[in-house]
Each structure stands twice: as structure tokens, then as C-alpha cells.
Amino acid sequence: MENILEVKNLCKTYDNFELKNVTFHLPKGMIMGFIGENGAGKTTTIKAILDIIQSYRGEITIFGLDNRKEEGRIKEDVGVVLDDMFFPEILTPNDIHKTMKSIYQNWDTKMFYDYLKEFSLLPNKQIKTFSKGMRKKLEIATALSHHPKLLILDEPTSGLDPVARAEVIEIFQNFIEKDDCSILLSSHITTDLEHIADYITFINQGEIVLSKTTDELLNKYGIVKCTEKEFRQIHKEDYIKYKKTKYEYEVLIPNKKSFQEKYDIAVIDKITLDDLMVLMIKGEE
């Protein structure tokens, strides 16, 4: 399967934080959920992909092109929404349209104004009058209106109510159904990712912990809830992390079927992405 985005051995050092050999790839036509707690390295990774930050090491290719050497060719086909992105508050959506039309060859005026109408955004109102959710919708409309092949989104549904979030998620799903487009989507709202992401990449303290299909994580992985005596019978190679609670042990396992064949422990719960994050970050090995 052809990869639309490849990140290999990405390293970036700050005074109190370091990205350590971050490596993953996003196949064409897929959505990848990018998860991790605050400060784990998601935004730094995304800004390196977009070549916004400098002095990082490693190799990043988009559409098979080096993101540093071919930035001009790549920009046209990448739509971006960043968590700390903002338009000047004195501008209106009409002003955004005029600016973007001069930047992108494929800018679609009709599409932009259709999104404004769908999102109930008045084109002649200054952005400073918009709520946080309305501003996020404007960013999404702008990102989509030049027909990108790749969307890179950092917390794109932040500030949206559940109805608006569902509306935006549906737009993202429709986006990838055409022309083998792809999305890299960083979000703390993991329930959204469980429904739409084909892959999940999990970063913790600047390192990629795992990068797997969502189907494998949600259907093969599980949480065993057992007594201390039962836990002591489980071999280390059969679990990933564990956490001791007041009344029991919670054990993260990578394969429910093989575990059931090997151990006589009845309670194996389905896993959510929130469960996965908590056990991977807080659990013991």
C-alpha cells in the first residue's frame, strides 16, 4: 500500500523535552488518529511534518517528496488545522477568501462559501465576534477549500459541541472517500477516533509507543481483571502493562484469543483508546 506520509527517525531536542526517533507512516486513503497526553510530542511532530520548526533530524516525506526541499510543491495539496492556529481577528471570512485565492491555485470559491453556509458563519462578520467553535469551523472550511490530498489536523474539533463535532467528523469521512485522500488527526477526543480512524499512532514522552490498525487495537487487545494470585500466574510475555487497583489487577494484553486459550481467567474486558492510554502511561511493566 502506497504511503502518503512517512516519518523516519524524527528527533528534536528542547531544554526540557525531546522527540526520540519518531517513526510511522500513513497509507493513502486512510485516517490515522495521533494520540498521547498533553506534552507527549504530538504538536511538535506535526509542526516538524509541516516544516514549521527548525533544527530537527530525521526524514519526512509527503507524497514521496522531501518536506524541506519540496515545500512549495507540497503546500498546494496539504490542508492544515493547528490547535494554536489563528486568523487575525479584524479579518472576515470574505478577507480569508481573498487571501487564500491568491495563495492556492486550486482554491474553490463555491466550496468555501458552501462551508460557511453549512457552518452558519456570516462572511462579512469579523473573526473577533466568533466563538472558539466558530473559529475552528472557519479553519476547517479554509483547510478543505483548496482540494488538498492530505489533511493534517491538530485538535480540529476542540471547542465544538457534540452536534457540530459529529457534523465535522462526517465531513472528514466524506473527504477520504474521494481520490484516495488521507488524514492525520491528532485529538484528545478518542471516542471520535475509535469510529473513524483506520490507524492509531500513540506517542508518549516523545517516543512512539505503538502504531497499529484501530481494528487490531480494539478487537485483539483487551484488559484482564483478576486477583493478585491470578496475576502472578500470567507470564510477562503475555501482557504489556498492568495496574494494581484497590480490589484487583488490570492487565493490558495484546491478544485476547491466545490469552483465553492459555489461561483460565474469566474476565477480559474490551478496550477503549482511553483505557489503552491510561494503562500504557500509568501502568507498570
What are the pLDDT digits (tens) for 173-187? Answer: 989 987 789 999 999
User: Could you tell me the pTM of the whole model?
Assistant: 0.92
Examine the domain organization and report whether 53 and 163 are in the same domain. Answer: yes
Please report which confidence band the pLDDT of residue 161 belongs to, taking 50, 70 and 90 as the band edges: confident
Examine the domain organization and report whether 67 and 197 are in the same domain. Answer: yes
Please report which confidence band the pLDDT of residue 71 belongs to, taking 50, 70 and 90 as the band edges: confident
Examine the domain organization and report whether 178 and 265 are in the same domain. Answer: no
> Which pLDDT score is estimated for 254?
95
> 27's torsion region: left (phi>0), alpha (psi -120 to 50) or beta?
beta
Examine the domain organization and report whether 163 and 229 are in the same domain. Answer: no
Examine the domain organization and report whether 256 and 200 are in the same domain. Answer: no
Q: Is the pLDDT of residue 266 over 80?
A: no
Examine the domain organization and report whether 135 and 247 are in the same domain. Answer: no
Number of H helices and number of E strands within the chain?
Answer: 11, 14
Examine the domain organization and report whether 186 and 235 are in the same domain. Answer: no
Q: What is the rounded average pLDDT for all residues in the chain?
A: 92
Among 139, 179, 168, 172, CA closest to 4? 179
Q: Is the pLDDT of residue 24 over 90?
A: yes
Q: How far is CA 163 from the centre of its chain?
A: 20
pLDDT, average across residues 115-143: 94
Please report which confidence band the pLDDT of residue 70 belongs to, taking 50, 70 and 90 as the band edges: confident
* CATH code of residue 98: 3.40.50.300
Examine the domain organization and report whether 266 and 155 are in the same domain. Answer: no
Examine the domain organization and report whether 207 and 227 are in the same domain. Answer: no
pLDDT per residue as tens digits for the range 54-68: 889 999 999 999 888
Among 27, 4, 143, 148, CA closest to 78? 148
Q: How many domains does the chain have?
A: 2
- Parent domain of 182: 3-214
User: Which tops the pLDDT comparison, 123 or 87?
Assistant: 123
Q: Contact at 8 Å (CB) between 89 and 127?
A: yes
Domain boundary among 187, 214, 241: 214
Examine the domain organization and report whether 21 and 157 are in the same domain. Answer: yes
> Which pLDDT score is estimated for 159?
81
d(CA 220, CA 274): 16
> Which pLDDT score is estimated for 258?
93
Examine the domain organization and report whether 228 and 210 are in the same domain. Answer: no
Examine the domain organization and report whether 231 and 166 are in the same domain. Answer: no
